[in-house]
Amino acid sequence: MTPKQIGDEWFVHYRLYHEDLVAGPFKTNSEAWRWIDRFTGQPISPAEKKSEWIAAKIIGGAK
């Protein structure tokens, strides 16, 4: 998977269960790469992980 720019937007072409799919549009190349990282299960930055944890606690309630 690699982001491709079409006009001012970025898209990601990928195959899932033998089907060609497209993700996007993304405003920037980095947003497209972030989507790829999350889709493939790559680790995220510690700051982003902490932010997601805090949001999950607020939205999901403290446990």
In this structure, what token pair is assigned to residue 21? 């799919």
Q: Which residues, at least 6 apart from 52, have a Cβ–Cβ distance to it below 8 Å?
A: 44
What tokens does 13 get? 């072409």
pLDDT single digits (tens) 10-59: 999 999 999 999 999 999 999 999 999 889 988 777 888 888 888 888 88
Decide which of 2 and 11 is more confident. 11
Strands 19-26 and 9-16: antiparallel
